[in-house]
Structures are given as C-alpha cells and as structure tokens.
Amino acid sequence: MDIRSYTFNEFVERVRVFHGYAAPGVLVGGFMVDLAYKHLPEEGLFDVLCETPKCLPDAVQLLTPCTMGNGWLTILNTGRYALVIYDKSTGEGVRISMDAAKLDAWPEIKGWFLKLIPKPDQDEERLREEIEAAGSSIFSIRRVRIADCIFRKKRRGAIVICTRCSEAYPVDDGIVCLHCQGEGLYAESD
C-alpha cells in the first residue's frame, strides 16, 4: 500500500534516515497523512495541527511541505494520536485519528499502541507487517474547522534587546525576555 508518492518500503527507509529508526508511530503517521490528502481538495495551501509531539510530527515533515521551523506545522499536545490538515485561509480541513475500537483485528498494533505488550516483547517485524496491511483502516476521519485563535497567525512586533541578558527578543513578550521573566533553563558551567 503506497504512502503519498512512496511505496511502503521507500517510506520505511526515509523514516529510518530522518527519524533515526523505523518507528511504528511514524509509519502509522504516514498512512494518516496519506488519508488526509485523499479527502482534501487537490488545490489549496494546507497547514497541519498535530495533537502529539511523539513520532507523528516526523511523518508530517516527511510527507508535506509543513515543518516545525517554517511554521506550517503546529503541535498542540492533547495526548491523542491525531492530526488535522486544514486550508490555511479558511481553517476547514480533515482530522485523522487512531481508532482504538478498530484494532481488534491487529493484535501487534493494538499491543504497541495501547502499551499492552511491553517493548521487549513486541515483534517488530510482525508489527510492521500489520501496519502495512492495516493501512488507513484503523483510523477515524471527520471534517472539522480549526478554531480561529489557532489558525489565524498574529503579526509579530518589533525586536528589542533585553536589558537583563542583552539578547534580542520580540518586544510583545514583555519588558524583559521570556527567559529573564522565568526560571533559568540552564546554569553556566564555567
């Protein structure tokens, strides 16, 4: 079963190179992205909302023009394995989610996804075969409209120098930068 312009095995190889290993979450994510595009208009500019930071963002970054750094991929962690691909001018799109109720036919996927099988006991090869065979049959899909506060991007204001740390930061963040407003993230080592 193909994933966008890749065969399944080509996609496995791309995941290995980018993500470091062929994680089941990214492979499943590939089919989620693929299914979303099949339900979107051919024309249009689309952004992605990813509901988990685990694995799924890498499927998005490998298969769409949306990356973390270019701002077209947003992660809002709801803890659910789901993504929304939506028209960036209207917020209209489709949400694809893992559907636990559809996993009974796929014991390895179910065992991995619901953490019923401890990692050392998972059969990696069988899990990959099930993911390929299941394809998009284990997802739910629905049409949604993203909340305005998420998809309407704010224009950012001026850049100024923080009087405390002397680094540049967006003035909209406050009278000193966010780092100097909060707890330190790190200590000096020497």
Interaction residues for its own copies, span 93-112 (CB under 8 A): 95, 97-101
38 or 143: CB nearest its own copies? 143
8 or 27: CB nearest its own copies? 27
Give me the torsion for CA of 151, 157, 162, 167, rounded to 10°.
70
Residue 77 interacting with its own copies (CB under 8 A): yes
Give me the torsion for CA of 89, 60, 54, 51, rounded to 10°.
20
Task: Give the distance from CA 30 to its chain's centroid.
Answer: 10
- SS3 per residue for 14-38: HHHHHHCCCCHHHHHHHHHHHHHHH
Residue (of 44, 76, 67, 96) closest to 147 by Cα position: 76
**Stretch in the footprint of its own copies (CB under 8 A) among 33-41, 84-92, 119-127, 128-136:** 84-92
Provide, rounded to whole angstroms, the least separation between the CB of residue 30 and its own copies: 12
8 or 73: CB nearest its own copies? 73
| C-beta of residue 1 within 8 angstroms of C-beta of residue 132 | yes
Pick out residues in 108-147 that bind its own copies (CB under 8 A).
Answer: 113-115, 142-147
Residue 24 backbone dihedrals phi, psi, to 5 degrees:
-55, -35
Provide, rounded to whole angstroms, the least separation between the CB of residue 169 and its own copies: 4
Residue 58 interacting with its own copies (CB under 8 A): yes
Question: Binding residues for its own copies, how many (CB under 8 A)?
Answer: 72
Residue 67 interacting with its own copies (CB under 8 A): yes
59 or 131: CB nearest its own copies? 59
